[in-house]
Amino acid sequence: MSVDATTVRRIAHLARIAVSDTEVPHLQGELNAMLAFVEQLSEVNVEGVEPMTSVTPMEMKKRLDVVNDGEIADDIVANAPDTADHFFMVPKVVE
Amino acid sequence: MTDLTSLTIAEARAGLASKSFTATELTDAHLAAMEAARLLNAYILETPDRAREMAKAADARIAKGEGGPLAGIPLGIKDLFATRDIRTTACSKILGDFKPPYESTITSQLWRDGAVLLGKLNNDEFAMGSSNETSCFGPVVNPWRREGSNTHLVPGGSSGGSASAVAASLCMGATATDTGGSIRQPAAFTATVGIKPTYGRCSRWGIVAFASSLDQAGPIARTVRDSAILMRSMAGHDPKDTTSVDIAVPDYEASIGKSVKGMRIGIPKEYRLDGMPAEIEKLWKDGADWLKAAGAELVEVSLPHTKYALPAYYIVAPAEASSNLARYDGVRYGLREGGRNIIDMYESTRAAGFGAEVRRRVMIGTYVLSAGYYDAYYLRAQKVRTLIKKDFEDCFAKGVNAILTPATPSAAFGVGEKGGADPVEMYLNDIFTVTVNMAGLPGIAVPSGMDAQGLPLGLQLIGRPFDEETLFSLGEVIEQAAGRFTPSKWW
């Protein structure tokens, strides 16, 4: 399988990465090189094979459903590019 | 007085205990060496004030007889590990000046045991790379050069800063992480020892995530013993990482010097690649001979799905990365670029913040997870991963204790030499290491010889799950036979 220029733009948008028109041909080439490389997996017989979900056979650990952290709003927003009163500020979302 | 930076951790520990020198003297010697080695670009942030403070505290603890297992040992920390109030960037522009308000579990255990932080080490951006050339702080230079040449070589990646700093004696040991070979390949390129423990052995909490089902942290050090000393402090169960395993941490150092008599060592025929350089062939043979001389039994084994590990990795790892890196959106931390609306802000922030390799992997990961392609790519790759793991299980079920392979298909290469036109050329560096991540197994790279140009080469030993101890015992046999390799100082 390979991707065309339209697909490259669609993937970039899905990944939320702005891509200029001049970058598309180059990216298309790189993505197709990777897709060509992984193509050899199609020759493996995976009939009846379970997909791996956990590399170590262990049961998912659970903890008690209790509050064990918090009251650190100053820490949470300390690295944010734009905040006001412990809120993250973003461009207008709802008109 | 001998140069304090040339000591091993074990030697420094003895010297500190016998009061031959202080932790402050040891730290100062390293800070001076770092200052004189900035050309290597191994450190992207030096923390001399913090280092001296920690060394002073270590001296006080040692004086009271309360020094921990790493009291006064100066270490470098890969920039993927969150260090409280100290800039942590994963060497990506998108994290900007991020100063974590928390400490990673692994580093907090190192400080608990008395270690000293010298600074943060360079790595490939988000650990995506095999040469340390994708870092936003620029490439790291390998302290090793080809005989008679001044060409700068890469130290490997992604833990290139860690490997270079340890090899050049700019720290006594370093933390590193390994998703497809990022501890073992740079260790092999710099004649250092690097171990990737079993998945779940070390907590991933507070380490910038790349591919969560593959990422595992481990140490890089100058001897097998030193790596065992560091492993003991780094390993352990952490309730904050649900994939960390709740089993006791052994005294890894006790495995050093243990007899390997009667152990069965597998030599996988699928690792004998067409066109493999003769010197890699010879290295492999030497390693087998040394283990045999120590009483181990060599057996040929088969890992039939080996060739599919790298392509399956380049589906699984980017898929997980695309999901993990979705958090970098310009809202909560790091870089933000302006935009007409919120989508535009996300897209311009991520375009400006991610380097070319990261963008490529996030995009391929997004594609293989997207509607209509998930089954063909991601699901198939996860099935292949099951088969890769089964290969190893079959092998261990036949009584094999560990598997011996070359660590890399070549020695270190020049800065800018690989991966320019085709990204896959660079990916092939991890051909011998990536299977281990796919199966969640422990693997150690040990310096074993030199190529014709005077560059170090390493061997890899792959162990059974949670049997790092056998790797330390076998690694020690190789180190004793091969000797240690130190680059001559030119920087």
What is the pLDDT confidence band of residue B214, given thresholds at 50, 70 and 90? very high
Q: Cβ contacts (< 8 Å) between B314 and chain A: which residues?
A: 34, 37-38
Touching B: A residues 73-92, CB under 8 Å: 75-82, 88, 90-92
A16 → closest Cβ in B98, B346, B382: B346
Quote the minimal CA–CA distance from A6 to chain B in Å: 13
* Inside any domain, residue A84: no
> For residue B84, what pLDDT is reported?
98
Q: Which domain holds residue A20?
A: 5-42
* pLDDT surpasses 60 at B415: yes
The Cα B201–Cα B213 span in angstroms is 13
CATH value of B4-262 in 3.90.1300.10, 3.30.43.10, 3.40.50.150, 3.40.630.30? 3.90.1300.10
Q: What is the DSSP string of B60-118?
A: HHHHTT---TTTT-EEEEETTB-BTTB---TT-GGGTT---SS--HHHHHHHHTT-EEE
Please check whether residue A64 touches B, CB under 8 A.
Answer: no
pTM of the predicted protein model:
0.97
Angle at B244 (CA atoms; ends B304, B106), nearest 5 degrees: 110
How far from the centroid of its chain's Cα atoms is residue B458's Cα?
14
* pLDDT surpasses 60 at B1: no
* Inside any domain, residue A52: no
* Inside any domain, residue A85: no
Flag if A33 and B424 touch (Cβ within 8 Å): yes
The residue type of A49 is V
Mind listing the pLDDT tens digit for each residue in B64-81?
Answer: 999 999 999 999 999 999
Q: For all residues of chain B together, what is the average pLDDT?
A: 97
- Whether the ipTM is more than 0.85: the answer is yes
The Cα A2–Cα A19 span in angstroms is 19
Quote the minimal CA–CA distance from B187 to chain A in Å: 25
Work out whether strand B74-78 and strand B173-178 pair parallel, antiparallel, or are unpaired: parallel
Interface A-B: count of C-beta contacts within 8 A: 168
pLDDT (average), residues B220-246: 97
Quote the minimal CA–CA distance from A90 to chain B in Å: 7
What is the pLDDT confidence band of residue A95, given thresholds at 50, 70 and 90? confident
The residue among B15, B120, B35, B136 whose CA lies nearest residue B78 is B120
Touching A: B residues 10-69, CB under 8 Å: none
Q: Cβ contacts (< 8 Å) between A1 and chain B: which residues?
A: 373, 376
* pLDDT surpasses 80 at B420: no
The Cα B159–Cα B355 span in angstroms is 17
Mind listing the pLDDT tens digit for each residue in B192-210?
Answer: 999 999 999 999 999 999 9
Mind listing the pLDDT tens digit for each residue in A8-54?
Answer: 999 999 999 999 999 999 999 999 999 999 999 999 999 999 999 89
Q: Pick the catalytic residue from B92, B108, B158, B159.
A: B158
Domain count of chain A?
A: 1
Q: Cβ contacts (< 8 Å) between A93 and chain B: which residues?
A: 341-342
Domain range summary for chain B, segments of one domain joined by +: 4-262
The alpha carbon torsion through B371, B376, B382, B387 (nearest 10 deg) reads 170
Residue pair B97/B330 in contact by the 8 Å Cβ criterion: no
* Inside any domain, residue A33: yes
The Cα B351–Cα B353 span in angstroms is 6
Q: Cβ contacts (< 8 Å) between A44 and chain B: which residues?
A: 305, 308, 380, 383-384, 387
Candidates B89, B346, B367: best to mutate against A (most CBs of A within 10 A) is B367
